[in-house]
Amino acid sequence: MEEKKFYITTPIFYANAELHLGHTYSLVLSDVLARYHRFVGDRTFFLTGSDEHGDKIVRAAQKENLGPQAFVNKNVEKAQELLKELGISNDMFIRTSDQEQHWPGATKLWYALERAGDVYKGTYKGLYCVGCEAFITEKELVEGKCPLHDAAPEQIEEENYFFKLSKYAPEIKRLLESGEFKITPRSKANEIISLIASSTAENELGDVSISRPERAIPWGIPVPNDPGQLMYVWCDALSNYLSAIGYGSSNETGFKSLWPADVQVLGKDILRFHALLWPAFLLSAKLPLPKELLVHGFVNSGGKKMSKSLGNVLMPRDFIAEYGRDALRYYLTREVSPVEDWDLTREKFKEVYNANLANGLGNLISRTLKMSEAYFGGVVEGDASRVPALRTKITAFENAGDVSGLNLPYLITNDILPRYHKHMSASEINKGADVVWELIGHLDQFVTDYEPFKLVKTDKDAAKDVIWGLLYGLREIGQMLTPIMPDTAARIAILVGASDIDGGKITFNSKAPVEPLFKRKE
């Protein structure tokens, strides 16, 4: 059987300041998916990186009395430190200022657009939003300001190279309507379809500028054969998804084996660039389109999108310092829908942490392992057939239904795991995490049903079978948490100590944790 590959990308983050929780969500969402696909055996490549050119970088560097390269180096170092703190398992970190890795691919893409006859020189006059690094129209403004950055755009007139975006709009619309070019959620695909239809009807979907004069932005990749022009940030930045895997290099083996991307994760604020400009570039260059764009919502703080320019930023390091990185990863995986906006407060985070980690998973692990150690010295041998049936109808969890009469191993194998894999393979990581916590609920109920702390006094063998079932369930929880909470998953595996797996029999050499996995926050 041919090995299945999985290539996933995050947007590359603008290197003008430290990454906040909005960026963190993109990273954790992508990391959970990458870790899941490695977990099931797919040949996985996970890319993230930094977007380092453009007007905003130059202006921000000047404010700190630094050159652009020194400025982005400082911020990239901070970003890479955060990736380590979050446990992000990226295979590569691409930098658009990397002249060896990135520039050849960006240049090759430019040449491909030229060969297709889709690049020409012209004069642009209009509005430009520095925050968006994009030209915008009057009707996009709200009270004269960019709605995303709450700032008035600049009026500019300059000679640029243009790309014939309008030429590819009908084909992009067709691919979106047919589902050949998939955007999740579907509502975002419909948004782009409507945009193309209305813009075409009003003759508004024009060609787009893909360069700016060096005198305007003296920091970027020179346009081939015209060094007085630099590639405009989106022409430069979008090509990272190709250059990182070898496009434009002397040996394109990696590119040929990995492209097209299987999932490209992005925030909804850059949807139009990825759903219009990016596929148009690829169609022009005669390259396959990514299989799926996964578009997540905004992380709001105080009811507004978290943004450095608005000053309402929450920093991931604060949550990691107080709760640990797995707690933050849990929250971003389970408590957030990948396709909707959500609001975060410190109070809500603590409430969820106490309920689901300290009192939920942590308490289940602690009391199960303490019973195993106290009653059987931590060594519990058995097999699935000896585990007694669940007695109680589980009604506290969606989809659980009536499981009375089934034993835990059967329920896990035939219900829990299939639903977990179904959701995770569909990038529904919050629903996958829900299934894990559903199993935690089953185990809690199992303790309530059989009360092994009482049963051990009257029927030690029966109590042993109950404890074995609980340890078996904890082992499965640990495995399912591997993509979501990797540190916790590794610790569960050590504490549960499954060994001597032979013919369905498993011996657990468990030990109770000295400290709680998740200390309750008062």
Average confidence score pLDDT of the chain: 91
CATH code, domain carrying 420: 1.10.730.10
Q: Is 1 a residue whose pLDDT tops 70?
A: no
Q: State the pLDDT confidence band at 301, using cuts at 50, 70 and 90.
A: confident
Q: State the pLDDT confidence band at 129, using cuts at 50, 70 and 90.
A: confident
Is residue 424 domain-resident? Answer: yes
- Give pLDDT, residue 201: 55
- Give pLDDT, residue 440: 96
Contact residues for 75 (Cβ-Cβ < 8 A; gap 6+): 15, 16, 17, 18, 50
Highest-confidence range of 9-23, 103-117, 130-144, by mean pLDDT?
103-117
- Average pLDDT over every residue of 156-165: 90
Q: Is 264 a residue whose pLDDT tops 90?
A: yes
- Average pLDDT over every residue of 163-177: 96
Is residue 353 domain-resident? Answer: yes
Peptide bond into 452 cis (omega under 30): no
Amino acid at 315: M
- Give the total number of structural domains in the chain: 1
Is residue 377 domain-resident? Answer: yes
Is residue 163 domain-resident? Answer: no
CA 103, CA 425: separation in Å to the nearest integer? 34
Is residue 515 domain-resident? Answer: no
Is residue 3 domain-resident? Answer: no
Tens-place pLDDT, residues 325-377: 999 999 999 999 999 998 888 899 999 999 999 999 999 999 999 999 999 99
Angle, alpha carbons 19-24-26 (nearest 5°): 120
Backbone angles phi, psi at 226, to 5 degrees: -150, 75
Is residue 475 domain-resident? Answer: yes
**CA 299, 302, 304, 308 torsion: positive or negative?**
negative
Cite the DSSP H helix spans in 66-102. Answer: 68-86
Q: Is 192 left (phi over 0), alpha (psi -120 to 50) or beta?
A: alpha
Backbone angles phi, psi at 13, to 5 degrees: -90, 140
Residue-number span of the structural domain to which 403 is assigned: 346-509
Query: How many C-alpha atoms does 358 have within 13 Å on its Cβ side?
Result: 13
- Give pLDDT, residue 120: 95
**Residue 23 · residue 86 · CB < 8 Å:** no
> What is 151-186 written as a DSSP string?
BPPEEEEEEEEEE-HHHHHHHHHHHHHHTSSEEESH
Q: State the pLDDT confidence band at 455, using cuts at 50, 70 and 90.
A: very high
Of 419 and 127, the structure prediction assigns the larger pLDDT to: 419
pTM of the shown model: 0.92
- Provide the 3-class DSSP secondary structure of residue 48: strand
Cite the DSSP H helix spans in 335-387. Answer: 346-352, 363-376
Q: Is 398 a residue whose pLDDT tops 50?
A: no
Q: Is 459 left (phi over 0), alpha (psi -120 to 50) or beta?
A: beta
Tens-place pLDDT, residues 97-118: 999 999 999 999 999 999 999 9
Helix (H) or strand (E) holding 299: strand 299-301
CA 255, CA 243: separation in Å to the nearest integer? 8
Read off the tokens for 432: 């996958």
CA 44, CA 467: separation in Å to the nearest integer? 37
Q: Is 123 a residue whose pLDDT tops 90?
A: no
- Give pLDDT, residue 396: 44
- Give pLDDT, residue 397: 47
Q: State the pLDDT confidence band at 388, using cuts at 50, 70 and 90.
A: very high
Of 135 and 121, the structure prediction assigns the larger pLDDT to: 121
- Average pLDDT over every residue of 196-217: 80
Tens-place pLDDT, residues 401-425: 677 778 999 999 999 999 999 999 9
Which of 353, 344, 397 minimizes the C-alpha distance to 488?
353
Q: State the pLDDT confidence band at 207, using cuts at 50, 70 and 90.
A: confident
Which residues are annotated as catalytic? 20, 23, 129, 132, 146, 149, 305, 308
> What is 319-344 written as a DSSP string?
HHHHH-HHHHHHHHHHSS-TTS-EE-
- Provide the 3-class DSSP secondary structure of residue 14: strand
Of 157 and 332, the structure prediction assigns the larger pLDDT to: 332
Task: Round the CA-based radius of gyration of the chain to a whole number and report it.
Answer: 26
Contact residues for 414 (Cβ-Cβ < 8 A; gap 6+): none
- Provide the 3-class DSSP secondary structure of residue 508: strand
Read off the tokens for 178: 């047919």
Judged on CB neighbours under 10 Å (0-12, 13-18, 19+), 154 is exposed
Tens-place pLDDT, residues 24-81: 999 999 999 999 999 999 999 999 999 999 888 998 999 999 999 999 999 999 999 9
Is residue 409 domain-resident? Answer: yes
Of 469 and 305, the structure prediction assigns the larger pLDDT to: 469
- Pick the range with the lowest mean pLDDT from 210-219, 258-267, 357-366, 478-487: 210-219
